[in-house]
Amino acid sequence: MDRDKKLILDALENPDGLERAVSRRDAVRGGGMFGVGVALATMPVLLASLTRRAFAQGPLPNSIINPLNLALVLEYLESDFYVAGLAASGLIPSSDRAVFEQVSKHEAAHVVFLESVLGDKKARRPTFDPTGRGAFPDVLTNYQTFLAVSQGLEDTGVRAYKGQAGNVASNDDILTAALRIHSVEARHASEIRRLRGQKGWITGNETDVAALAPTYAGEQNTTHLGIDVAGFEGRDAATEAFDEPLDVEAVLAIAGTFGTGPIS
Amino acid sequence: MFRKLDTGDEELRFLSRLTQVKGRRTFLTWSGVTIAAVAVGCKADDGLQPSGRSPRGGATEPVDLGTGDFLVLNFAYALEQLEAAFYTQVIASPFSGITDEESSLLDDVRKHELIHRDFFKAALGSSAIPALEVDFTDVDFGSRQSVLETARTFEDLGVSAYNGAGKYLENLDYLLVAGKIVSVEARHAAAIRDLLAPKTAAFAGDDVVDEQGLDVVNTPADVFAAADPFITTEIDGSTLPTT
């Protein structure tokens, strides 16, 4: 696993700074971006240039670049995964294709968005290995395997963004954008679980695929702000009602199995 | 008698506000009025505080959401109360033709929202707003379409609320908790949308996710305006951020 992580780390521009956390918000908060945000929604043609202007007034600090690059690497993997899945003949049944086309559209949009925000600070795109270094050899021929890996990637994405929210919180616009991507990943994860005959949420740290266990480690937590909610409506519901974050190390360990090193 | 006292209350609150502006000299006057009020039978704790803040849960004063992070957390608490009350009713009076799968899924959502509600109540402690009265007369609980469309509205609203309010939380521990909850609301939204339009793009439809792949976001003030018609208890939403 260490070698896998190293490969992903190499894809990031500033790996040493990834663990740096912002302990508290900057005293001076960013502001005045809302008007630009409205323009973004109504002028898609100018998206890229406007986004750059809105988010990169002056160079972004490494404390924000690193979490965004972690997100970008995940989005690269997700985006490549769905492109490969949709291209694999006979893999996704026609009944479910609309779901994956929508998911794929969003992951591609997240890549474009994050690349635009990061500019020349963006991470290099890792070479994609859909089999997770052999853990899922039939992922592009067996639809059930494809669904399981899809769910794992989406739940990893949810946990990764959640874990980085505090690290980008000094910039209101980037925090809000990250939160908005985060909830889209959660919608994806829920819908893919629906396609697998589940409800949409994570119970305990349960997974029906052993190789995905690291993605759910710690999800059984029921204590938040020192309040244990396990006794409120039963332990299962208590674990489902709160999704848990993953730290950088854990995300890299998971993502590392789907990337085989950077393209220079 | 009550009316007379209520009227007196209003006058006293007015004087209380004057006190805030004018300072010590008026404060003495205010103190004198307080004594007079107690003398005619008002309870001594009937809302006259030098800060000018209204008492929470009073019969006539709107609910005060507080300030700073507590304002945001109380705002979330109000939304969770609304959702919890809604799903409680959904389970208490199931729509006609409800399937076992739908019933089980909606009961899960009910439990999650109850947990969110009770978590916020515990976290806010003495700063928590009171229990809110709700009004669902516009919802036809016997109709699957009406129930699920209302559920979709509430879940999407919840997602947009947390996405829009996150930047107002200064304490990063609170931000993390909001993040833990909002993704569950998004899971609910997708599942409800899937019940309404199975296996389509609706779970994260173009009506909520924009061309950049960003989910719906609303300002706290806009969320409050959307939720307020369902809440009977009067809440002072004037301090909620409008950007």
Digit-coded pLDDT (tens) for A171-208: 999 999 999 999 999 999 999 999 999 999 999 999 99
Pairing of strands A259-262, B235-236: unpaired
* A242/chain B closest Cα distance in angstroms: 5
Would you tell me which residues 39-58 of chain A have a C-beta closer than 8 angstroms to some C-beta of chain B? 40-41, 44, 47, 51
B194 in A contact zone (CB under 8 Å): yes
Question: Per-residue pLDDT tens for B174-219?
Answer: 999 999 999 999 999 999 999 999 999 999 999 999 999 999 999 9
For an interface test with A, the pick among B77, B88, B196, B212 (most A C-beta atoms closer than 10 Å) comes out as B212
pLDDT of residue A84: 97
- Report which of A83, A9, A22, A29 is spatially closest to residue A248, judged by C-alpha positions: A9
With cut-offs at 50, 70 and 90, classify the pLDDT of residue A5: low
Q: What is the DSSP string of A88-156?
A: STTTS-GGGHHHHHHHHHHHHHHHHHHHHHHGGGPPPPEEE-TTTTTTSTTTTT-HHHHHHHHHHHHHH
pLDDT of residue A59: 82
CB A88 within 8 A of CB A141: yes
With cut-offs at 50, 70 and 90, classify the pLDDT of residue A55: low
- B195: closest chain A residue by CA: A194
This complex has an ipTM of 0.84
Residues of chain B with pLDDT under 70: 1-60
Average pLDDT, chain A: 84
Question: Per-residue pLDDT tens for A230-241?
Answer: 999 999 999 999
With cut-offs at 50, 70 and 90, classify the pLDDT of residue A100: very high
Query: Around B1, how many Cα atoms within 13 Å sit in the side-chain half-sphere?
Result: 3
Contact criterion met (CB < 8 Å) for B211 and A191: no
The CA-atom distances, in angstroms, between A60 and each of A32, A45, A120, A171, B135 are 17, 24, 11, 10, 47
pLDDT of residue B24: 31
Measure CB to CB from residue A41 to each of B115, B163, B210 and give the nearest one.
B210
Residues in chain A: 264
Q: What percentage of chain A has pLDDT greater than the value 90? A: 73
CA dist A111 and A235 (Å) reads: 37
Contact criterion met (CB < 8 Å) for A186 and B190: yes
Instruction: Look at residue A128 and tell me whether its pLDDT is greater than 60.
Output: yes
Helix (H) or strand (E) holding B37: helix B24-40
- The SS3 assignment for A169 reads coil
Contact residues, chain A, for B204 at CB < 8 Å: 102-103, 106, 184, 187-188, 191
The whole-angstrom distance between residue B151's C-alpha and the CA centroid of its chain comes to 16
Residues 6+ apart with CB under 8 A from B11: none
Local structure of residue A44 (DSSP, 8 states): G
Question: Per-residue pLDDT tens for A71-80?
Answer: 999 999 999 9
Residues 6+ apart with CB under 8 A from B100: none
With cut-offs at 50, 70 and 90, classify the pLDDT of residue A252: very high
**pTM of the model as a whole:** 0.81
Sign of the C-alpha dihedral computed for residues B116, B194, A73 and A30 taken in this order = negative
User: Which domains are assigned to chain A?
Assistant: 1-56 (no CATH), 61-260 (1.20.1260.10)
